[in-house]
Amino acid sequence: MKPTGPIPGHYASTDNGLRIAGATPSSLVEQAGATPLFVYDRAAITDRIAALRSAIPSRIEVNYAVKANPWPDLLEFIEPLVDGFDIASIGEWALLDEAGIDAARTSFAGPGKRDEELEIAIAAGVTLNCESAGEAGRALAIGERLDTAPKMAIRVNPDFELRGSGMKMSGGAKVFGVDADKAAALARRVVDAGCEWQGFHIFAGSQSLDAGAIAEAQRNTIALASRLADEAGVPLPKLNLGGGFGIPYFAGDEPLDLEAVGEGLHETAAVDVLPDTRLVLELGRYLVGEAGVYLTRVVDRKESQGETFLVVDGGLHHQLAASGNFGAVVKRNYPVAVVERSSDAPEEVVHICGCLCTPLDRLATQVELPRAEVGDLIAIFCAGAYGATASPMHFLGHGPAREMLV
Ligand SMILES: *Cc1c(COP(=O)(O)O)cnc(C)c1O
């Protein structure tokens, strides 16, 4: 038997099974038309953002990292709840633009920005978080051609990392950002060239559950950005502090201690620290990850050499991360439930497999669950971020999952 991660607290388990925002999952599936289905709980997102804001200093702005979940209805819902948006492609900008979101609230990070992308972003007034000297040079040239001063920040590859983060994006040789020892000179250059200078962007890592490590990275970030601005002799209108707040996916994961992160920020980002600088956090999964659940139906139940396999109508083409194939080193089980029997005692150990014809498509391994029959719904939690958007939807031709907000 292998353990599963913790089911997020806002899903109630009643005697008659799981409830999502007070509704039965089967009624939601009926409303949506079919499984597989991603359900995103509005209240869970609202509550998460409210808790975050009450823990951190009011001067800190909260941006949503669109790549976590770019579903248009979700973008429209989250728009009034956040201060800004971080995008990582011009395709993501198109989604924001369509939702009527202002370019002035948007910044664009990510390596390999093509000239066409830079041009659209500059013309629209999106801030570029420049990832290299080459990219900054191309942006300035495009700005000149368009007769528009590009809004530019420099993304810095810091000389520290976010300890214990699930995905390291800083410290050492990296494709992201400009090395800390070269960032001041580049800042000076783009300011001299007449860009609309925005400051620095320092994103040290992702999926950290360690409040102490996050506080330390934030402290280091503020110190590094101040030093770089001094060294370059440029102002620091804005500093994107990154994010990296994680959520518990697996057994033994403890939720991030938000109060401790808040206390750290009240110290590091007190009102007299960089008083003329806008400080921004950019968060994806922390805002929406636990608010999503993936519902999929058992299509087959079979035995092989003494082991039981539940085969469902979904799979890694929608929920790649749950199959352990999205950057995981060790395959571990996401939180799962048999929807109608979510409060019953476990009775058997099963594997939950998706319907793709590949051994990679296993959504849970050796999980102990109440008995599920063909036709029953299975819920896989922590599906609000890097679910539909980060999965190979076209693989094997089963098509996309449905998505709904409740
Ligand atoms: C991926 C990414 C994020 C979002 O990360 P989460 O772990 O979802 O919070 C934020 N900023 C940048 C630059 C990223 O690449």
Can you give the pLDDT at residue 163?
82
- Ligand 1: which atom is nearest the Cα of residue 201? 13
Can you give the pLDDT at residue 73?
98
Q: Is 294 in the pocket of ligand 1 (CB under 6 A)?
A: no
In DSSP terms, 168 is beta-bridged to 205
Question: Do 249 and 286 contact (CB within 8 A), yes or no?
Answer: no
Can you give the pLDDT at residue 357?
97
* pLDDT, tens only, 93-125: 999 999 999 999 999 999 999 999 999 999 999
- Ligand 1: which atom is nearest the Cα of residue 206? 7
Question: What span, in angstroms and rounded, lies between the C-alpha atoms of 218 and 215?
Answer: 5
By most ligand atoms within 8 Å of CB, the mutation choice from 127, 282, 285 for ligand 1 is 282
How much is the average pLDDT of 164-192? 89
Closest residue CA from atom 3 of ligand 1: 65
Two tokens, residue 328: 């995981």
Q: Is 67 in the pocket of ligand 1 (CB under 6 A)?
A: yes
Q: Which of 195, 355, 357, 382 is catalytic?
A: 357
How much is the average pLDDT of 353-363? 97
Of 95, 98, 62, 100, whose CA–CA distance to 81 is shortest? 62
- pLDDT-derived band at 327, boundaries 50, 70, 90: confident
Asked which of 6-15, 127-136, 282-291, 370-379 is least confident by mean pLDDT, the reply is 6-15
Can you give the pLDDT at residue 167?
66
Q: Is 357 a catalytic residue?
A: yes
Q: Is 282 in the pocket of ligand 1 (CB under 6 A)?
A: yes
Closest residue CA from atom 2 of ligand 1: 65
Q: Is 284 in the pocket of ligand 1 (CB under 6 A)?
A: yes
Question: What span, in angstroms and rounded, lies between the C-alpha atoms of 224 and 161?
Answer: 12
- Ligand 1: which atom is nearest the Cα of residue 207? 7
* pLDDT, tens only, 193-225: 999 999 999 999 999 999 999 999 999 999 999
Q: Is 283 in the pocket of ligand 1 (CB under 6 A)?
A: yes
- Ligand 1: which atom is nearest the Cα of residue 283? 9
Report the topology of domain 70-283.
TIM Barrel (3.20.20)
Q: Is 243 in the pocket of ligand 1 (CB under 6 A)?
A: yes
Q: Is 285 in the pocket of ligand 1 (CB under 6 A)?
A: yes
CATH superfamily of 12-40+289-405: Lyase, Ornithine Decarboxylase; Chain A, domain 1 (2.40.37.10)
* pLDDT, tens only, 261-275: 999 999 999 999 999
- Ligand 1: which atom is nearest the Cα of residue 282? 10
Can you give the pLDDT at residue 59?
98
User: What pTM was computed for the model?
Assistant: 0.97
Can you give the pLDDT at residue 169?
65
Closest residue CA from atom 7 of ligand 1: 206
Using the predicted structure, report yes or no on whether residue 168 has a pLDDT greater than 80.
no
* pLDDT, tens only, 8-56: 999 988 899 999 999 999 999 999 999 999 999 999 999 999 999 999 9
By most ligand atoms within 8 Å of CB, the mutation choice from 86, 214, 245, 290 for ligand 1 is 86
By most ligand atoms within 8 Å of CB, the mutation choice from 63, 203, 207, 214 for ligand 1 is 203
Using the predicted structure, report yes or no on whether residue 295 has a pLDDT greater than 70.
yes
Q: Is 106 in the pocket of ligand 1 (CB under 6 A)?
A: no
Domain ranges across the chain? 12-40+289-405, 70-283
